[in-house]
Amino acid sequence: MCEVTTIVTTAGRPDDLSMALAAFACKQLNAPFEPRKKRSVRKISVSLQANVIVAGKNRFEYYAFGESEPFFFHPNSAAFRLKRVARGEAEPFLEATQLQEGDSVLDCTLGLAADAMLAAFTVGEHGKVVGLEANPNVAFIVAQGTQTYDTTELPLTACMRQIEVVQSEAVAYLKALPDNAFDVVYMDPMFEEVIEEANNFEALRSAGAHVALTEEWVQEAKRVAKKRVVLKAHFRSEWFEKYGFTRLARVTSKFHYGVLENL
Protein backbone atom coordinates (compact mmCIF):
# COMPACT_ATOMS: atom_id res chain seq x y z
CA MET A 1 0.00 0.00 0.00
CA CYS A 2 1.35 3.42 -0.99
CA GLU A 3 2.21 5.90 1.75
CA VAL A 4 -0.27 8.77 1.94
CA THR A 5 1.45 12.06 1.18
CA THR A 6 0.20 15.64 1.45
CA ILE A 7 -0.31 18.01 -1.47
CA VAL A 8 -1.46 21.64 -1.61
CA THR A 9 -4.04 23.07 -3.97
CA THR A 10 -6.24 26.16 -4.21
CA ALA A 11 -9.92 26.94 -4.06
CA GLY A 12 -11.99 26.21 -7.15
CA ARG A 13 -11.43 29.65 -8.66
CA PRO A 14 -8.03 30.74 -7.38
CA ASP A 15 -6.94 34.38 -7.37
CA ASP A 16 -3.51 35.85 -6.69
CA LEU A 17 -4.05 35.66 -2.92
CA SER A 18 -4.98 31.98 -3.05
CA MET A 19 -1.91 31.23 -5.15
CA ALA A 20 0.32 33.11 -2.70
CA LEU A 21 -1.20 31.25 0.26
CA ALA A 22 -0.75 27.94 -1.53
CA ALA A 23 2.92 28.73 -2.16
CA PHE A 24 3.31 29.59 1.54
CA ALA A 25 1.71 26.27 2.58
CA CYS A 26 3.96 24.33 0.19
CA LYS A 27 7.03 25.94 1.73
CA GLN A 28 5.91 25.42 5.33
CA LEU A 29 4.92 21.78 4.82
CA ASN A 30 7.53 20.90 2.20
CA ALA A 31 4.62 19.68 0.09
CA PRO A 32 4.11 19.79 -3.68
CA PHE A 33 1.54 22.02 -5.37
CA GLU A 34 -1.22 20.48 -7.46
CA PRO A 35 -3.26 22.80 -9.75
CA ARG A 36 -6.98 22.57 -9.07
CA LYS A 37 -8.08 22.39 -12.72
CA LYS A 38 -11.76 22.49 -11.71
CA ARG A 39 -11.46 19.09 -10.00
CA SER A 40 -13.11 18.29 -6.68
CA VAL A 41 -10.90 17.89 -3.65
CA ARG A 42 -12.03 14.27 -3.38
CA LYS A 43 -11.01 13.55 -6.97
CA ILE A 44 -7.56 15.05 -6.39
CA SER A 45 -7.16 13.15 -3.12
CA VAL A 46 -8.15 9.79 -4.61
CA SER A 47 -6.14 10.15 -7.81
CA LEU A 48 -2.97 11.13 -5.94
CA GLN A 49 -3.61 9.00 -2.83
CA ALA A 50 -2.97 12.13 -0.79
CA ASN A 51 -4.09 14.34 2.04
CA VAL A 52 -5.06 17.74 0.64
CA ILE A 53 -4.45 21.23 2.02
CA VAL A 54 -6.72 23.77 0.30
CA ALA A 55 -5.57 27.40 0.29
CA GLY A 56 -8.76 29.42 0.14
CA LYS A 57 -9.25 33.18 0.20
CA ASN A 58 -10.18 33.26 3.88
CA ARG A 59 -8.65 30.15 5.43
CA PHE A 60 -6.71 26.94 4.98
CA GLU A 61 -8.63 23.64 5.02
CA TYR A 62 -7.22 20.16 5.55
CA TYR A 63 -8.87 17.12 4.00
CA ALA A 64 -7.36 13.96 5.48
CA PHE A 65 -7.22 11.16 2.92
CA GLY A 66 -10.56 9.39 2.70
CA GLU A 67 -12.49 12.13 4.52
CA SER A 68 -15.18 14.28 2.93
CA GLU A 69 -15.28 16.99 5.61
CA PRO A 70 -12.39 19.43 6.09
CA PHE A 71 -10.57 20.37 9.26
CA PHE A 72 -10.17 24.12 9.68
CA PHE A 73 -9.51 26.53 12.51
CA HIS A 74 -12.36 28.33 14.27
CA PRO A 75 -12.38 29.65 17.86
CA ASN A 76 -16.10 29.10 18.52
CA SER A 77 -15.68 26.96 21.64
CA ALA A 78 -13.08 29.25 23.19
CA ALA A 79 -15.18 32.33 22.43
CA PHE A 80 -18.21 31.28 24.45
CA ARG A 81 -16.06 29.79 27.23
CA LEU A 82 -14.14 33.06 27.56
CA LYS A 83 -17.42 34.96 27.78
CA ARG A 84 -18.52 32.70 30.64
CA VAL A 85 -15.25 33.26 32.47
CA ALA A 86 -15.56 37.03 31.98
CA ARG A 87 -19.00 36.83 33.62
CA GLY A 88 -17.44 35.11 36.61
CA GLU A 89 -18.90 31.67 35.85
CA ALA A 90 -17.01 28.49 36.75
CA GLU A 91 -14.77 26.93 34.10
CA PRO A 92 -13.75 23.30 34.81
CA PHE A 93 -10.47 23.55 32.89
CA LEU A 94 -9.35 26.55 34.93
CA GLU A 95 -10.52 24.95 38.18
CA ALA A 96 -8.41 21.89 37.39
CA THR A 97 -5.28 23.73 36.26
CA GLN A 98 -5.41 26.44 38.96
CA LEU A 99 -3.51 28.77 36.66
CA GLN A 100 -2.24 32.10 37.91
CA GLU A 101 -1.06 35.22 36.11
CA GLY A 102 2.47 34.74 34.80
CA ASP A 103 2.32 30.93 34.76
CA SER A 104 3.74 28.84 31.92
CA VAL A 105 1.57 26.11 30.39
CA LEU A 106 2.42 23.22 28.07
CA ASP A 107 -0.64 21.84 26.27
CA CYS A 108 0.50 18.44 25.00
CA THR A 109 -2.59 17.91 22.83
CA LEU A 110 -3.46 21.27 21.29
CA GLY A 111 -6.35 20.32 18.98
CA LEU A 112 -8.34 23.45 18.13
CA ALA A 113 -6.54 25.35 20.91
CA ALA A 114 -9.68 26.17 22.92
CA ASP A 115 -8.07 25.17 26.24
CA ALA A 116 -4.84 26.93 25.29
CA MET A 117 -6.78 30.15 24.66
CA LEU A 118 -8.34 29.97 28.11
CA ALA A 119 -4.88 29.35 29.53
CA ALA A 120 -3.50 32.38 27.67
CA PHE A 121 -6.33 34.55 29.00
CA THR A 122 -5.59 33.48 32.57
CA VAL A 123 -1.77 33.64 32.59
CA GLY A 124 -1.81 37.02 30.86
CA GLU A 125 0.80 38.71 28.71
CA HIS A 126 3.59 37.82 31.14
CA GLY A 127 2.70 34.12 31.02
CA LYS A 128 3.56 31.54 28.39
CA VAL A 129 1.45 28.99 26.51
CA VAL A 130 2.97 26.36 24.22
CA GLY A 131 0.74 23.91 22.36
CA LEU A 132 1.93 20.64 20.81
CA GLU A 133 0.36 18.94 17.80
CA ALA A 134 1.86 15.75 16.40
CA ASN A 135 0.19 15.85 12.98
CA PRO A 136 2.07 18.40 10.82
CA ASN A 137 -0.98 19.28 8.74
CA VAL A 138 -3.15 19.94 11.80
CA ALA A 139 -0.31 21.91 13.41
CA PHE A 140 -0.05 24.07 10.29
CA ILE A 141 -3.79 24.76 10.17
CA VAL A 142 -3.98 25.70 13.86
CA ALA A 143 -0.78 27.75 13.84
CA GLN A 144 -2.02 29.81 10.89
CA GLY A 145 -5.49 30.11 12.40
CA THR A 146 -4.34 31.36 15.79
CA GLN A 147 -2.07 33.95 14.20
CA THR A 148 -4.32 35.21 11.41
CA TYR A 149 -7.97 34.50 12.26
CA ASP A 150 -9.82 37.81 11.93
CA THR A 151 -11.98 38.64 14.91
CA THR A 152 -12.80 41.90 16.64
CA GLU A 153 -13.59 40.09 19.87
CA LEU A 154 -11.24 40.94 22.70
CA PRO A 155 -9.57 39.36 24.58
CA LEU A 156 -10.03 36.45 22.16
CA THR A 157 -7.67 37.82 19.53
CA ALA A 158 -4.89 38.48 22.03
CA CYS A 159 -5.30 34.98 23.49
CA MET A 160 -4.99 33.36 20.06
CA ARG A 161 -1.90 35.34 19.14
CA GLN A 162 -0.15 34.42 22.40
CA ILE A 163 -0.09 30.66 21.75
CA GLU A 164 3.11 29.16 20.40
CA VAL A 165 2.22 26.15 18.25
CA VAL A 166 4.90 23.45 18.02
CA GLN A 167 4.64 20.47 15.70
CA SER A 168 5.90 17.60 17.84
CA GLU A 169 4.89 14.35 19.45
CA ALA A 170 4.33 15.01 23.14
CA VAL A 171 6.68 12.52 24.77
CA ALA A 172 9.57 13.42 22.47
CA TYR A 173 9.09 17.11 23.25
CA LEU A 174 8.86 16.50 26.99
CA LYS A 175 12.03 14.41 26.97
CA ALA A 176 13.98 17.32 25.49
CA LEU A 177 12.91 19.70 28.28
CA PRO A 178 14.72 20.28 31.59
CA ASP A 179 13.05 19.53 34.93
CA ASN A 180 10.38 22.02 36.05
CA ALA A 181 10.32 23.73 32.65
CA PHE A 182 6.59 24.59 32.84
CA ASP A 183 4.30 25.37 35.75
CA VAL A 184 1.48 23.21 34.36
CA VAL A 185 1.50 20.35 31.85
CA TYR A 186 -1.92 19.56 30.35
CA MET A 187 -2.95 16.41 28.46
CA ASP A 188 -6.19 15.76 26.59
CA PRO A 189 -5.61 12.67 24.40
CA MET A 190 -8.27 11.61 21.92
CA PHE A 191 -11.08 10.11 23.97
CA GLU A 192 -11.20 6.33 24.19
CA GLU A 193 -14.94 6.69 23.58
CA VAL A 194 -16.72 9.02 21.17
CA ILE A 195 -18.86 11.70 22.79
CA GLU A 196 -21.74 12.05 20.35
CA GLU A 197 -22.57 15.61 21.35
CA ALA A 198 -19.08 16.72 20.37
CA ASN A 199 -19.72 16.44 16.63
CA ASN A 200 -17.85 19.70 15.98
CA PHE A 201 -14.65 17.78 16.74
CA GLU A 202 -15.30 14.99 14.24
CA ALA A 203 -13.07 16.57 11.58
CA LEU A 204 -10.28 16.88 14.15
CA ARG A 205 -10.81 13.29 15.29
CA SER A 206 -10.29 12.13 11.70
CA ALA A 207 -7.36 14.44 10.97
CA GLY A 208 -5.46 14.46 14.24
CA ALA A 209 -3.09 12.00 15.83
CA HIS A 210 -4.69 9.30 17.98
CA VAL A 211 -2.54 8.61 21.00
CA ALA A 212 -3.01 6.69 24.23
CA LEU A 213 -1.71 7.86 27.57
CA THR A 214 1.35 5.91 28.71
CA GLU A 215 3.43 5.58 31.87
CA GLU A 216 6.35 7.25 30.09
CA TRP A 217 4.18 10.22 29.08
CA VAL A 218 2.91 10.70 32.63
CA GLN A 219 6.36 10.40 34.18
CA GLU A 220 7.89 12.88 31.75
CA ALA A 221 5.00 15.29 32.37
CA LYS A 222 5.55 15.03 36.14
CA ARG A 223 9.25 15.77 35.69
CA VAL A 224 8.60 18.83 33.52
CA ALA A 225 5.69 20.28 35.56
CA LYS A 226 6.68 22.55 38.41
CA LYS A 227 3.19 22.71 39.94
CA ARG A 228 0.83 20.10 38.48
CA VAL A 229 -0.07 17.77 35.66
CA VAL A 230 -3.70 17.86 34.49
CA LEU A 231 -5.47 15.14 32.48
CA LYS A 232 -8.80 15.37 30.69
CA ALA A 233 -10.44 12.07 29.76
CA HIS A 234 -13.77 10.29 29.35
CA PHE A 235 -15.53 9.62 32.64
CA ARG A 236 -15.20 5.85 32.02
CA SER A 237 -11.45 6.13 31.51
CA GLU A 238 -9.18 3.95 33.64
CA TRP A 239 -6.31 6.39 33.17
CA PHE A 240 -7.11 8.39 36.31
CA GLU A 241 -6.69 5.44 38.66
CA LYS A 242 -4.01 3.69 36.59
CA TYR A 243 -1.64 6.66 36.68
CA GLY A 244 -2.53 8.05 40.11
CA PHE A 245 -4.50 11.15 39.15
CA THR A 246 -6.89 12.66 41.67
CA ARG A 247 -10.15 12.66 39.73
CA LEU A 248 -12.27 15.81 39.75
CA ALA A 249 -15.64 14.21 39.04
CA ARG A 250 -18.30 16.16 37.19
CA VAL A 251 -21.70 14.54 37.64
CA THR A 252 -23.34 16.05 34.56
CA SER A 253 -20.38 15.74 32.19
CA LYS A 254 -19.05 12.89 30.08
CA PHE A 255 -15.46 13.95 30.66
CA HIS A 256 -13.56 14.48 33.90
CA TYR A 257 -10.30 16.10 34.89
CA GLY A 258 -7.53 14.53 36.93
CA VAL A 259 -4.67 16.24 38.77
CA LEU A 260 -1.19 15.21 39.87
CA GLU A 261 0.24 17.79 42.27
CA ASN A 262 3.98 18.44 42.24
CA LEU A 263 3.97 21.00 45.04
Per-residue pLDDT of the chain (263 residues; tens, 9 = 90+): 457 899 999 998 888 999 999 999 999 999 999 999 999 999 999 999 999 999 998 899 999 999 989 999 998 888 889 988 888 898 999 999 999 999 999 999 999 999 999 999 999 999 999 999 999 999 999 999 999 998 777 788 889 999 999 999 999 999 999 999 999 999 998 654 444 444 445 555 555 555 789 999 999 999 999 999 999 999 999 999 999 999 998 888 889 999 999 76
Residue 177 has what pLDDT? 98
42 and 138 share one domain: no
Q: Which domain holds residue 32?
A: 5-63
pLDDT at position 94 is: 96
Is 69 contained in some domain?
A: no
Domain boundary among 24, 42, 63: 63
Supply the pLDDT for residue 198: 44
Q: Identify whether residues 148 and 49 lie together within a single domain.
A: no
Q: Where residue 139 sits, what CATH number does that domain have?
A: 3.40.50.150
CA neighbours closer than 13 Å in the CB half-sphere of residue 51: 21
- For 196-212, b/e burial (b = at least 16 CB within 10 A) is eeeeebebbebbbeebe
pLDDT 10s digits, 138-165: 999 999 999 999 877 778 888 999 999 9
Residue 125 lies in a domain: yes
Using a cut of 0.85, tell me whether the model's pTM lies above it.
yes
Residues 6+ apart with CB under 8 A from 1: none
Query: Looking at the domain assignment, is residue 142 inside a domain?
Result: yes
If one counts the domains in the chain, the total is 2
Shared-domain flag, residues 204 and 139: yes
- Judgement on whether residues 15 and 59 belong to the same structural domain of the protein: yes
